[in-house]
């Protein structure tokens, strides 16, 4: 059944009550500032992370706001991937099973050696079927395994709840991601994990907009959000790392409008991230066919360095 605005607000009220029970404000629960000693930030996830707009928005805003902070933001999201290890029968028309993060993670960590790891899985992990405890457990097991792997390399893990699946495309699977998100949020309290919630803010935004325009959508296919959806994701991540003022902005363009070279920095950051994403995926290896092959790492790094110099010149002008 499609969630009403009232049901979403009731759920938000429940979350607020939970925060009160633990005597911690909502803001402090998600105030996960990037550690001062951190240098390399890596994003893991599926096709939504691979698309990368939300990561470009986060990096662009953070760099414009903190031009002297020297951080490297790397996207190694992989389309179709799961952390649960599950795949539908006849996935992609039988062309290939969903790639499993277990297959490549050790190589990713060995080569990238991240200081902070943002994790965004869940959308593919229930393989688009109704809620099932065995599949749910596979997702939980995968997330727990990933947390242990991040801890083992001495990095900081920041988990991000799954984006929404549009209920108009399938209410049952929308509810699966509700359940996955609620479980992940519960780890804030049971295990003191750092968990940022993009799911319920996206869910409420969609409900509010549908109340004004029944044809409104965040994702045409129900899965892959457009620019607004990526901004909603970036907004919650930026709020979570201490940029509280971003709640005032409707989109990335408004967020960076006060910076003299904001749009130029966004364009260059997006270009640099895409080049390095493809190069790192080539270097670390994966089993997902059909992707554009990235440049050899040395070549990509040379081009990325040239772009970085352009970014730094623009940042100095702000």
Cα 285 from chain centroid (whole Å): 21
Helical H segments across the chain, by residue range: 5-21, 26-29, 47-51, 53-65, 101-112, 133-152, 171-190, 199-212, 227-240, 252-255, 262-284, 297-316
Which SS3 state, helix, strand or coil, does residue 42 take?
strand
Distance of CA 115 to the CA centre of its chain: 17
What residues contact residue 220 under an 8 Å CB cut-off, 6+ apart? 226
pLDDT at site 40:
98
277 class by beta-carbon count within 10 Å (0-12 exposed, 13-18 middle, 19+ buried): buried
Q: Which of left, alpha, beta for 164 (phi over 0: left; psi -120 to 50: alpha)?
A: beta
Task: Report pLDDT for 30.
Answer: 59
Check residue 29 and give its pLDDT. 40
Q: 79: helix, coil or strand? A: coil
Beta pairing partners, 234:
none
CA nearest to 82, candidates 44, 52, 134: 44
In this structure, what token pair is assigned to residue 198?
């993009």
Residue 317: the pLDDT is: 80
How far from chain centre, in Å, is Cα 249?
A: 19
Cα dist. 153→108, 113, 239, 286 in Å? 12, 8, 26, 21
* Residue 166 confidence (pLDDT): 98
Q: Which residues contact 313 (CB under 8 A, 6 or more apart)?
A: none
The pLDDT tens digits along the chain (318 residues) read 344 444 444 444 444 433 333 333 333 345 799 999 999 999 999 999 999 999 999 999 999 999 999 999 999 999 999 999 999 999 999 999 999 999 999 999 999 999 999 999 999 999 999 999 999 999 999 999 999 999 999 999 999 999 999 999 999 999 999 999 999 999 999 999 999 999 999 999 999 999 999 999 999 999 999 999 999 999 999 999 999 999 999 999 999 999 999 999 999 999 999 999 999 999 999 999 999 999 999 999 999 999 999 999 999 987
Domains of the chain: residue spans and CATH: 28-316 (3.40.50.1110)
What pLDDT sits at residue 19? 39
* pTM (two decimals): 0.91
| Residue of 268, 236, 261, 263 lying closest to 249 (CA atoms) | 236
DSSP state of 289: T
Please tell me the distance from the alpha carbon of residue 108 to that of residue 210, in angstroms, as a whole number: 40
Residue matched to tokens 């409104």? 216
Q: How far apart are CA 287 and CA 41, in angstroms?
A: 23
Tokens of 264: 């130029």
CB 50 within 8 A of CB 272: no
Q: If we measure between CA atoms, which residue out of 256, 230, 249, 197 comes closest to residue 48?
A: 230
Contacts of 39 (CB under 8 A, 6+ apart): 70, 71, 72, 115
Across 68-102, b (16+ Cβ under 10 Å) vs e yields: eeeebbbbbbbbbbbbbbbbeeebeeeeebbbbbe
């Amino acid at each position: 059944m499609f969630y009403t605005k009232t049901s979403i607000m009731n759920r938000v009220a429940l979350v607020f009550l939970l925060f009160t029970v633990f005597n911690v404000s909502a803001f402090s629960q998600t105030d996960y500032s990037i550690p001062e000693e951190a240098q390399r930030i890596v994003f893991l996830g599926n096709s939504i992370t691979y698309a990368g707009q939300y990561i470009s928005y986060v990096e662009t805003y953070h760099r414009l706001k903190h031009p002297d902070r020297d951080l490297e933001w790397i996207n190694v999201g992989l389309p179709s991937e799961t952390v649960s290890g599950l795949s539908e029968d006849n996935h992609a028309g039988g062309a290939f099973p969903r790639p499993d993060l277990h297959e490549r993670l050790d190589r990713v960590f060995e080569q990238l050696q991240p200081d902070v790891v943002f994790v965004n899985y869940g959308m593919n992990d229930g393989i688009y079927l109704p809620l099932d405890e065995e599949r749910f457990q596979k997702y939980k097991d995968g997330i727990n395994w990933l947390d242990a792997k991040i801890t083992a390399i001495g990095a900081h893990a920041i988990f991000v709840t799954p984006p929404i699946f549009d209920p108009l495309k399938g209410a049952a699977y929308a509810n699966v991601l509700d359940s996955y998100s609620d479980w992940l949020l519960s780890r804030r309290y049971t295990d003191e994990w750092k968990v940022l919630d993009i799911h319920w803010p996206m869910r409420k935004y969609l409900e509010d907009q549908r109340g004004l325009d029944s044809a409104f959508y965040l994702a045409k296919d129900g899965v892959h959000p457009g620019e607004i959806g990526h901004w909603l994701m970036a907004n919650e991540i930026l709020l979570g790392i201490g940029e509280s003022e971003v709640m005032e902005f409707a989109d990335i363009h408004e967020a960076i409008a006060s910076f003299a070279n904001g749009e130029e920095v966004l364009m260059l950051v997006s270009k640099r991230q895409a080049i390095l994403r493809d190069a790192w995926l080539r270097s670390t290896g994966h089993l997902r066919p059909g992707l554009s092959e990235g440049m050899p790492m040395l070549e990509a790094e040379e081009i990325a360095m040239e772009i970085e110099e352009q970014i730094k010149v623009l940042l100095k002008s702000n």
